[in-house]
Amino acid sequence: ETKTLIADKTVRTTCTYCGVGCQLDVSVIDGKIKGIQAPETAEVNEGHTCLKGRFAFEFYDHPDRLREPMIKKNGKFEEVTWDEAYDFIATKLIDIKNKYGPDSIGGISSSRATNEENYLMQKMIRVAVGTNNIDGCARVCHAPTAWGMQQSFGTGAATNSVEDLKQADAIFLFGANPIKGHPVTGAKIKQAFMKGVTSIVVDPIKTKLAELATYHLQIRPGTNVAILNMLAHYIVMDDLVNKHFIESYTEKYDEFKSHVEHLNMDELALLTGVSKELVRKAAHAYATADRAMEFHGLGVTEHFQGSKTVMLLSNLAMMTGNIGKNGVGLNPLRGQNNVQGAADMGVQPHQGAGYLDVSKKDIQQYFADKYGIEKMPTTNGLKIPEMLDAAIDGKIKALYIMGEDTIMTDPNTNHSIKAFEQVELIVVQELFMTATTEMADVVLPASSYFEKNGTFTNGERRVQRVNKVVEPIGNTKPDGQIIIDMMARLGYEQPTGLTYDAANVIEEIADVIPFMKGLSWKRLGENGLQWPIKEDGTDTKMLHVNGQFKKGIGTFHHFDFEETPEIVSHGKKYPFILTTGRELEHYNSGTMTRRTDNQKILSDDVLEVHPKDAIKKGIKDNETVRIFSDRGSVEIPVKYSRNVKRGILRTTFHQPEVFINIITGSVGDKETMTPEYKVVAVDFERL
């Protein structure tokens, strides 16, 4: 007998997983979420979702959900009341602050939380604790995008909107596999490829899109700067540049030009593993297209030269005039649902809300006035890797973490564990127990995105509503409420009172962040607003129209390829390069997706190995091997794959049973310290 279920109510909200920001219609029956549909009227996803957004919702009332606050006593967690937990944390934090100063405390915020919660979190650390030691998970993904694009254009965010794909004549996809990481945008890109748009993919892995592309430049991992220098060389030498754009809107082109002119293409072809002829054809395809649109992902940023690669991608767009019109631009595929928003809200140790430089006196005064306090902290704070190093050195004594599994997702796990072991107080707000909460002193149970209001900002700068679907599970509270309560315990009361209300916080954000002046809960409507948002509520689909760069002029930079220290130091002893990525079924450390049926579809991390490399070591398909680096070793099943070249290995980091970050290293992007997850010197052997 089939039964038609009729929902008691359906609530529109924004997906919690990736930076596409799909709108979802969530149906509730008898107070429980029973299904998710994709609304056709949603501008972002036009009736589509992927199997994460649509089906991976069972986690929200999973038996593993944390439901009560807990304090570790004699090595074991015991449930306590909220008041007990708050008092314990406040007493310890104030004690540590008095003894060692505010800079002995660090905050780690979460791109999975809403804008309002991220805004409050950075405010608590800056205003109630008194330090700029606030950072977030952009540090392990797109920090180089924000930093690099700021150097080139003045704004570290997507220049265009995804809908521009329809107008692009060429698509240049660098270091990203959106079919797995950003599936709805990935499907749109795939459609464009299949319709015959000129397409160039730069990726060490033969992804589905690489297979479909007109040109696949299958580089050796880590040679991004080298391949971009080759592309620029051919565009310059074959006179394919847009002189009008360069002369009218940019600076420092001549230095860049003379740098790329003199590069040795034979050497670079050898380094990258891609023939000169192929690179030249790709350069022509990009530069001669009427409208060429760039997308990039973590294959760009998670490298030793990550920020430099972003600046060279910006050069490519500027030298061909592919900026400031539909169907062009530089469009980072932001990983997490709200990684753009967390940075906008000031979850960075050097920039407060609105990317304002916290080391400047006038900015400190601006924030002090807005927050109604006398004095803001005056020096830049520590980035996450610096916080961990400072903990080992005994300088960081407390870590306050909101929704981040630092132990599982940061590189070189043993180093992170060593750092955590030195810290006197670790507080974690979370949905589930994780490797990080296990090491905490206090765990505070947070409400999931289904249980609260707020906003997320997707990869195209679009602020969208998150609407409460069901009441908070158990004794959980929204992260925003927890932060407001903690701030009050630390001596700072939110001007609007002790009850968390996302709309109130949005009003404050609109008052503080210059490019969000016209933001309000009401104005967001069903399809959100893309920043900058003017006072009258007008939003912005495209940046830098008519060469109007935020910093006044677009700046060219030039760099030589530099081999990563990971290979220089360890390459001889560990001859294989491991690169890590994601699968469609899971989201990052899998805290949520592993607690849904997606885990039944995909339950293992596997090591993709070229069959010839495996056979040479006598390793069979599906056999479990030991993979090791200078940092440690883990066991993992092998999967023969011709998507990787010989000498290259690929895996994912979704399953704690493998815990691949035990072997990843501490090398990071020079400018932002974003870890180089994409190049890890390793070897592997039969068990």
Tell me which residues touch ligand SF4 (CB under 6 A).
15, 17-18, 20-22, 45, 49-50, 52-53, 182-184
State the minimum distance, in angstroms, from the CB of residue 581 to ligand SF4: 15
3-class DSSP state of 351: strand
Going from the C-alpha of 144 to that of each of 32, 511, 568, 669, the distances in angstroms are 41, 28, 22, 7
* Separation of alpha carbons 162 and 333, rounded Å: 10
Q: Which helix (H) or strand (E) holds 568?
A: helix 565-570
Element (H, E) at 457: strand 454-457
Taking the complex as a whole, the smallest distance from the CB of residue 22 to ligand SF4 amounts, in Å, to 3
Chain centroid to Cα 499, Å, comes to 30
Q: Report the half-sphere exposure of 217 (CA within 13 A, side-chain side).
A: 34
Using CB positions, name the residue nearest to ligand SF4: 53
Strand locations in 312-453, DSSP E? 329-332, 351-352, 356-357, 398-402, 425-430, 442-445
Q: Which CB atom, from 162 or from 484, has the smaller least distance to ligand SF4?
A: 162
Q: Distances in Å between the alpha carbon of 370 and those of 35, 127, 495, 511, 512?
A: 42, 11, 11, 8, 7
What is the chain's alpha carbon radius of gyration, rounded to the nearest angstrom? 24
Joined together, the tokens standing for residue 56 give 């991976």
Q: Closest separation between CB of residue 381 and ligand SF4, Å?
A: 30
Kindly state the smallest distance separating residue 18's Cβ from ligand SF4, in Å. 3
Closest separation in Å from C-beta 403 to ligand SF4 = 17
- Quick one: 54 or 489, whose CB is closer to ligand SF4? 54
Q: E strands within 125-228?
A: 134-136, 170-174, 198-202, 215-217
We find the least distance from the C-beta atom of residue 45 to ligand SF4, in angstroms, to be: 6
CB atoms within 10 A of CB 647: 13
Residue 209 or 287: the one with the smaller Cβ distance to ligand SF4 is 209
Query: What are the tokens at 83?
Result: 């008041």
Task: Choose between 182 and 303: whose C-beta lies nearer to ligand SF4.
Answer: 182
- The least CB distance from residue 51 to ligand SF4, in Å, is 8
Buried b (16+ CB within 10 A) or exposed e, 599-623: beebeebbbbbbeebbeeeebeeee
Q: Which is nearer to ligand SF4, 28 or 51 (CB)?
A: 51
Kindly state the smallest distance separating residue 293's Cβ from ligand SF4, in Å. 19
Of 22 and 205, CB closest to ligand SF4 = 22
Nearer to ligand SF4, 179 or 387 (CB): 179
Contact assessment for residue 241 and residue 320, using Cβ atoms and an 8 Å cutoff = yes
Tell which residue, 130, 134, 120, 132, has the closest CA to residue 374: 130
**CB of 53 vs ligand SF4, minimal distance in Å:** 2
Residue 656 burial (10 A CB sphere; 0-12, 13-18, 19+): middle
